Structure 1
Amino acid sequence: MKLVITGATGYIGQRLSALAAASGHEVICATRRPCAAAHAWLPYDLRGLAPECPAGTQALIHLAADTAHTDPDEELRAAQALIRCARKGSAKFVFISSQTAEAAAPSVYGRTKWRIEQDVLAAGGTVVRPGQVYGGPERGLFGLLCGLVRRSPFIPVLLPAPRVQPIHVDDLAASILAVVERDDIRAEILNLGAARPITFGHFLMSIATHRVRATRLPIPVPVALLRLLRRSLGQSLSTKLGLTRIFSLVQLPPMDSERSLQEIGIRLRPLAPGMHRSGHGQRRGLLREAGVLLSYLLKRPPPTSLVIRYARALEHAGKTRPVVHSRLLMRWPILLALLDDPGPQQSSDGQELAWRLQVALGIAEASPRGAQVFLGAQPPGRLVGTLVALGVAVLKALAWKLAALACRPLARQLLRESEAHRDA
């Protein structure tokens, strides 16, 4: 398809343009400044005249927005001109709105988005209302929040606590592209975000834990104090400091997103792995898995070099997703002895774990610590001591065999936890 995307150089627009091009679509960026060389460029400014849709355009995706709220009527007129442009070329029109869009929204931004939505729906276009967008590059409101969390030792916990419905920027891009490619989705509003809202404080703590990787102290902040601060700073300075955008979350209306997600067939990724720069946190999962397996084999925490070597070995084999997710295994790697047995290894997950144990074993054996553990590289002792050590080893092996039989239910539970995490 031939797609025209306004705001294609923005936070969402860049990811959408890249995904659309990777999916085989022809992307035309309607922006003020030239976009990536891989896409065609159509000069466009919200304050200027609407561009002529290139011949053969099949969809016009309107992402550009005036976040400074300088002239709401100008933004409305720009959207109306784009709608006429799309209708003239018989192109599908998709408008990326906001969760704040309401006729009586407390912010000018929300009221402007709602007015544009009415024109889009009347013209048979589709409206997409995303929740709190996060992940990928630190841009937009997500970039502002990351900067605040990175600079401050505290996390403001607003009281009463506003709730947000996060959606990863790449999941949003995939959802928009799915809407564009579907002919049966027209003249409706799609709410896209996590089905279960979380508190804004939880979202900020997730940024601290999984993105910034720092410990932050939560501090209660009454919303009334924010209102007083905004009034004292004035509209212009509040907007410049990002306070207006944060304040828009205070009265955020909840969205019923489950139906929309099912309609377009999109499954959102969990928040924690989505916060990682990779968007899935799989490399970190492999490193944690390496720590568990190598600790079990070496009887002590492994050196960083072995952990990295394990992750690289699996990535080279095309296995980028970890299979060890159980918190019990993370805390007590010795419990792997219950899974290091032919019984639990009959299932597909058990076979995969057995293969990874062999990889970890090969890496461990090649290390100095592994030489001591597996090859017995130590000064020779007396015969009696050697026999006693051999007897103790046999008794330990027998004890673990009996424990493995008695703890078969626990072993199955450990595997089920990994399987459930993989399917989530």
Structure 2
Amino acid sequence: MTLLITGATGYIGQRLSALATASGHEVICATRQPCPAPYAWLPYDLRGPAPECPTGTQALIHLAADTSTGVHTGADDEVKAAQALIRCAQQGSARFIFVSSQTADATASSAYGRTKWRIEQEVLAAGGIVVRPGQVYGGPERGLFGLLTGLVRRSPFIPIIMPAPCVQPIHVDDLAASILAIVERDDIHAEILNLGAVQPIAFGRFLKSIAVHRVRATRLPIPLPVALLRLLRLSLGQSLSSKLGLERVFSLIHLPPMDSARSLQKLGIQLRPLAHGMHRSGHGQRRGLLQEAAILLNYLLKRPPQRSLVRRYARALERADRNRPIIHSRVMMRWPILLTLLDNPGVLHQPEGRELSWRLQVALGIAEASPQGAQVFLAAQRPCSLFATLIALGLTSVKALMWQIAALLGRPFTRQLLLGSEAHREA
């Protein structure tokens, strides 16, 4: 199909254009600045007239919006621009898809949300389709996600707003795939589609996920009452509050929940886990394999493994089409020696332990075939006296007995030790 996309160089538009082109569609970018190849370019500005809809355009996707903190395009101007685009699509017999916001409401606390709601009414009256995404995240650090990530990266604290607002995250690539699914369907008309996580999560947990999986840093949670934020906004004034991003925070505080299960099911879209989507690649499976490799190899070598060995383990499992890690415990990442509780016949011979047994063998083969492994397994030890040797053997026997007792006592908890992690729960 031929798709005309306004705001194609924005956070969502850039990913949508790339995915549409990869799917075989022709993309025409309606933007202020020229678009890079292979996209065709149509000059367009929200403050100017609507472009002529090129012949053969099947869908016009309206993403352009004024997100600046200064005074540029007014609310009335944005609504008029949308009306002109709707007429443009009607003249070219193209479907009109408007990407709105979860904040859209006639009584929204922000002008942004009220403007989106007004545009929605125009789109629905013309038989167009409205997409309301939740908290968009992932990919490049742009938009509100870029603002939040920057704050988490620079600050040693995570603000826990009280009472806690909730968000319904959706990865930017999942949103792009959803929009394309709408484009390729001809049975959706004059409808609002809610796209985001089915179960809302606390905003503080979303920030914590950014810290853990994106920034990879520990941040201290600090309670932040909404009343204090209101006082800060009042003291700063509306203009400065907007520049600092405080108005966006308030739009989250008053965010209405949305029912997204029906829309996701209708489009056949399954959202990726939040922990996976926070990874720069958008997929956390390889990172999970690398973490699993570090645990297994550290356990076998009794020291941190070289990076080349970690990558070799991940490649070996990917070639065997076993892309999902089975060890998710953050406790075990800190103390790989706890694998001793699992490395015994009572666990490895169970159905859940057979896969771990196989992966231990893979890690052992990689370790033994490496120079680092050779130093550990084959290096000559310094000569010791008979007394020192007997003491070492005795200590080894005592430690082995203690671990056997610990493994026996901890057997009911081995599954939690293997699988218990935030990433696994989010999956």
TM-score > 0.5, shorter chain as reference: yes
Amino acid at match of 2:77: E
Q: Hey, what does 1:8 align to over in structure 2? A: 8
Letter in 2 for 1:11: Y
Contact 2:7 / 2:31 at 8 angstroms: preserved in 1? yes
Q: Separation in 1 of the partners of 2:224 and 2:405?
A: 56
User: Which one of 343, 347, 351 corresponds to residue 337 of structure 1?
Assistant: 343
User: Partners in 2 of 1:364 and 1:382 — Cα distance?
Assistant: 30
State how far apart, in whole Å, the 1-side matches of 2:310 and 2:175 are.
Answer: 34
Query: What are the equivalent positions in structure 2 for 1:42-191 lying under 5 Å apart?
Result: 42-68=42-68, 70-191=73-194
Distance 1:362 1:195 in 2: 43
Structure 1, unmatched stretches of 5+, are none
**Could you say if the C-alpha distance between residues 21 and 82 of structure 1 is closer, same or farther in structure 2, counting changes exceeding 3 Å?**
same
Instruction: For 1:260, give the aligned amino acid.
Output: S
Note the residue ranges of structure 2 that are not aligned, 5 or more in a row.
none
**Aligned CA distance change for structure 1 residues 343 and 154 (closer, same or farther; 3 Å):** closer
Equivalents in 2 of 1:170, 1:235: separation in Å?
A: 33
Call closer, same or farther: CA 1:388–1:250 in 2, change over 3 Å. closer
Work out whether 1:195 is the aligned partner of 2:198.
Answer: yes
The aligned counterpart of 2:255 is: 252
Deviation of 1:391 (Å):
12
Q: Which runs of 4+ in 1 moved over 6 A?
A: 339-342, 380-418
Amino acid at match of 2:360: L
Question: Is the contact made by 1:61 and 1:96 (CA closer than 8 Å) also made in structure 2?
Answer: yes
Q: CA deviation at 1:3?
A: 0.7
Between 1:369-378 and 1:255-264, the stretch displaced more is 369-378
Q: 1:222 aligns with which of 225, 235, 249?
A: 225
Query: Aligned partners of 1:417, 1:152: CA distance in 2, in Å?
Result: 28
Q: 1:83 to 1:387 in 2, by over 3 A?
A: same
Cα distance in 2 for residues equivalent to 1:234 and 1:382: 79
Q: CA offsets, 1:203-235, max 9 Å, x none? A: 122212221122222222222222232233333
The offset of 1:393, in angstroms, is: 9.5
1:241 matched to 2:247? The reply is: no
Q: CA deviation at 1:283?
A: 3.0
One-letter amino acid of the structure 2 residue matched with residue 24 of structure 1:
G
Q: CA deviation at 1:299?
A: 4.0
Amino acid in structure 1 at the alignment position of 2:173: D
Deviation, structure 1 residue 354: 4.9
Cα separation, partners in 2 of 1:106 and 1:281, compared to 1, 3 Å: same
Q: Is contact 1:97–1:129 with CA below 8 Å preserved after alignment?
A: yes
Taking the aligned partners of 1:169 and 1:57, their CA distance within structure 2 comes to 24
Instruction: Kindly indicate whether the alpha-carbon contact (under 8 Å) linking 1:323 and 1:422 is maintained by their aligned counterparts in 2.
Output: no
* 1:242-321 correspondence runs (5 A): 242-314=245-317, 320-321=323-324
User: What residue identity is the alignment partner of 2:104?
Assistant: A
Identity %: 75
Q: Provide the C-alpha distance between the structure 1 equivalents of 2:63 and 2:318, rounded to a whole number of angstroms.
A: 36
Rounded Cα–Cα distance in structure 2 between residues aligned with 1:403 and 1:216? 33
Give the Cα separation in 2 of the matches to 1:299 and 1:165: 42
- State how many pairs are aligned: 420
Query: TM-score normalised to the size of structure 2?
Result: 0.85
Question: Offset of 1:82 from its aligned partner?
Answer: 0.9
Shift of 1:304: 4.2
- State yes or no: 1:24 paired with 2:27: no
Q: Deviations over 1:79-120 (max 9, x none)?
A: 111111111222111110011111111211111111111111
2:235 matched to which residue of 1?
232
Partner Cα separation in structure 2 for residue 17 and residue 108 of structure 1: 28
2:35 corresponds in structure 1 to 35
Please identify, of 213-222 and 246-255, the stretch whose mean Cα deviation from structure 2 is larger: 213-222
Bigger Cα displacement from structure 2, 195-204 vs 369-378: 369-378
Classify the secondary structure of the residue corresponding to 1:249. Answer: helix
Contact 1:132 1:193 in 2 (8 A): yes
Deviations 1:267-325 (A, max 9, x none): 11111221111112233212211122213322444344532443355457665442333
CA separation of 1:292 and 1:101: change in aligned 2, threshold 3 A: same
* CA pair 386-250 structure 1, distance change in 2 beyond 3 A: closer
